[in-house]
Structure formats: C-alpha cells, structure tokens
C-alpha cells in the first residue's frame, strides 16, 4: 500500500545523519555528565558544545539555552516560574494557542488567581495587535504569551512587532516557537523576546528533547528540583544522545534552510492549486492559502463533504495510507472540534471536515498527486 506522510506539524521523521550521530554517542559517550572522571567530562563536553552551537543559531549566549524534554516542558517552565517567582499577575494570550500554553495558563489561574486576558482575533484568526496594545495598558506585572506559528492553521505572528510592543509597556514576552525553529531564522538579539520554546522532533530530531531560551537576568527559576543540571533550571541526568541529536538536526536544518524552504514552498503552492482544481467549494482555514501571512509547511483545508460522510474521511484516508490530522495531533484522539477552528469558523463550516496537511523535505509532488486522487474519489 502507498504510504504518504503529511503530518509533519505533529512530528517529523528523523534524518539519517541524526540517527547515526545519536547511535555513536550512545555507544561511546555513556558517562554521566555530572561525573568528574574522563567519561563524565567527555559527556559534559558534548552537552556544552551542543548548547553553544544551538545558541549561535539565535545569536544568544549559551547560558541562555536550557535543555528540556520538549516544547511543553519549556512552556511550563517559563509560564509557571513567571507567576511563581517573577510576580506576574496578568497573562495575555490568545484562544488559538497550543494547549501546552492554554492549559498551563488555566491551571495557573486556579492556583494563583491571576488575571487572564485573551486578545481579540481578526479575520482568519489574525491576532489584533491594536487590541493587544490596549490590553497592555495596565500597571499589573504582565506576561504576553503568543505563538509564532500556529500549529493548526499556519498563521504567522510578527514577533518583532509584538516584542517591541511588550517592551514599551514593560511586559514580558513568551512565544511558543515550536513550529518555527528550524524553519525561520530568529535573531534574538534584534527581536527582544524574553522566552521561546522549541522541540527537536519538529525538525527531524529525536522525541523527548527540546529547549527553552531564557533571556539572561530574567529571574526564571527551576520547576524540577534535584541535582544542579542545566545550571539549576532543570534537575535530572541529561539524555546526551538526545541533546546531540537535536543539535545535529538543527544544524542540518539551518545549513539547508533556503533549498528546503524553496522545495517545500513550491510543494505547498502546487497542493493548493490542485485542491482548487479539485473543487471550487474547497476553502482554506486561517491564512494558510496566503504565502505572505502563513508558514510554508502547513495547509488546513475545509472540504465540501456532508457531515454524515465527512465523519469517515480521516478513517478512509488512513486506509489509503495517508497520514494527516484533523487538527493538532494532541487532539486527534478526541471527538471534540479543534479549539482553533472553533474560534475562527462559523457553525456551517465546522460541520464539514477539515484536514491539516503539513510538509517536510521528504515529501514529493507525486505524493500530492496521490492524495488529490484519493480526495477526488471521496468527494
């Protein structure tokens, strides 16, 4: 059976070079990085080299990169400490954020009775920056948490504008950049964001590892206690093979960024063209049809299929060997509508099936043609 993987926003296949490097590390560098003997020092050296390499891609200090188990932990580390340790009493966010942010903010509201404000959304789910500026008119210690790339509809946020706005109002700015790290160059010396989160498995690296950028002097403190690993931010023996795997994956992504962006962008444009040819009643959710205002890796499409038939669409696609999502992968086991689409679509469109297709360097035009042929038969 033909197998087509168009769910790269959920996770990506690992590059061969990453697997080879991780295997080498597991075989040769098995010492505990906290040990003072030779094997421990060698392991520690690998970790710090990875930290310096990753920091260099964002033009930040190595000490500002904290390794975590992934983007969710990085988001939790920053948000919880901001409230617990930095005196944040108001969080401004949007209802389109990843649940790693939304659910954490909801829990912090229960625990600390903080104020949570949701910025208004314009057409297609675009964040209303004028409303954000209005919400920032407060004397409360405030943190803004807005994602750079929406994982479901691909909308992009102008990080520079939001960061400057937050700085002008003495607010902290945290951004979940899980979908943008490796796909976009982020110079964090010129973008005054305070915190970002990233996850290796989104850019052809291993699962179970990511990092937080925590700007020097922010005052963020640990959420996991024990040893002094990660300069006290995160206790626990480091998974050296995962960290080196993440470094390798990120390095390869940025070395090949322009060529791969061109390849994937052309593939997305071709997919959109074929979908439009398939049916004039197909619509695109969010800004994903607009190359200027969305990422080049995601399409979210609403298909003109009756609800009683649409309920079987994802099952039928899976039977045909096509891997994709009805929303974020974190919700794929739920019968509820996507919280993102529920915010931006009318009831009529919510009744129709929406599908997210997300791309990587490994996808081809032939795979797009196959998906179109399957959709044509189904529609």
The Cα–Cα gap between 140 and 185 comes to 32
* Catalytic-role residue among 288, 302, 324, 330: 330
Tell me if residue 294 falls in helix, strand or coil.
strand
Kindly give, in sequence order, each residue whose CB lies less than 8 Å from that of residue 119, ignoring residues fewer than 6 positions away: 92, 93, 94, 127, 128, 131, 132, 135, 146
Question: What does 61-80 look like in DSSP terms, one character per residue?
Answer: -GGGEEEESSHHHHHHHHHH
Cβ–Cβ under 8 Å, residues 60 and 194: no
**How buried is 265 (Cβ within 10 angstroms: 0-12 exposed, 13-18 middle, 19+ buried)?**
middle
- Write out the E strands in the chain: 4-5, 65-68, 90-93, 115-118, 142-145, 172-176, 195-199, 210-214, 283-284, 298-302, 322-323, 354-358
Phi-psi region of 347 (alpha: psi -120 to 50; beta: other; left: phi over 0): alpha
Q: Catalytic site residue 302?
A: no
Question: What does 157-178 look like in DSSP terms, one character per residue?
Answer: --HHHHHHHHHHTT-EEEEE-T
For the chain, the residue count is 379
3-state SS of 211-222?
Answer: EEEECCCCCCCC
Cβ–Cβ under 8 Å, residues 359 and 264: yes
Backbone angles phi, psi at 292, to 5 degrees: -80, -30
Cβ–Cβ under 8 Å, residues 125 and 97: no
The Cα–Cα gap between 226 and 211 comes to 19
Helices 99-112 + 71-86 axis angle, to 10 = 30
Which residues carry out catalysis?
Answer: 330
């Amino acid at each position: 059976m033909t197998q087509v993987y168009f769910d790269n926003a959920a996770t990506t296949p690992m590059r061969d070079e990453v697997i080879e490097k991780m295997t080498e590390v597991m075989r040769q560098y098995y010492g505990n990085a906290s040990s003072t003997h030779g094997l421990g020092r060698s392991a520690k050296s690998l970790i710090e080299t990875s930290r310096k390499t990753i920091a260099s891609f964002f033009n930040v200090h190595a000490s500002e990169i904290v390794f975590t188990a992934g983007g969710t932990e990085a988001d939790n580390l920053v948000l919880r400490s901001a409230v617990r340790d930095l005196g944040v009493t108001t969080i401004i966010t949007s209802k389109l954020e990843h649940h790693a942010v939304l659910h954490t903010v909801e829990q912090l509201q229960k625990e600390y009775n903080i104020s949570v404000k949701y910025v208004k959304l314009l057409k297609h789910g675009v964040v209303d920056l004028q409303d954000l500026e209005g919400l920032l008119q407060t004397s409360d210690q405030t943190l803004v948490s807005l994602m750079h790339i929406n994982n479901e509809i691909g909308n992009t946020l102008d990080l520079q504008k939001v960061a400057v706005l937050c700085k002008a109002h003495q607010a902290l700015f945290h951004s979940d950049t899980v979908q943008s790290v490796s796909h976009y160059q982020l110079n964090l010396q010129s973008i005054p964001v305070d915190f970002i989160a990233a996850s290796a498995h989104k850019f052809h690296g291993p699962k179970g590892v990511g990092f937080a950028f925590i700007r020097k002097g922010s005052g963020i403190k640990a959420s996991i206690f024990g040893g002094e690993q990660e300069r006290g931010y995160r206790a626990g023996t480091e998974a050296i093979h995962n960290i080196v795997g993440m470094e390798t994956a990120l390095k390869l992504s940025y070395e090949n960024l322009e060529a791969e962006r061109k390849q994937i962008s052309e593939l997305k444009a071709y997919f959109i063209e074929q979908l439009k040819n398939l049916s004039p009643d197909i619509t695109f959710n969010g800004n994903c049809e607009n190359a200027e205002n969305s990422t080049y890796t995601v399409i979210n499409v609403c298909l003109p299929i009756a609800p009683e038939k649409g309920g079987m669409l994802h099952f039928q696609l899976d039977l045909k060997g096509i891997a994709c999502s009805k929303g974020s992968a974190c919700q794929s086991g739920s019968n509820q509508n996507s919280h993102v689409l529920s915010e931006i679509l009318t009831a009529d469109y919510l009744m129709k099936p929406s599908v997210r297709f997300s791309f990587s360097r490994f996808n081809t035009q032939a795979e797009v043609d196959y998906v179109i042929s399957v959709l044509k038969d189904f529609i």
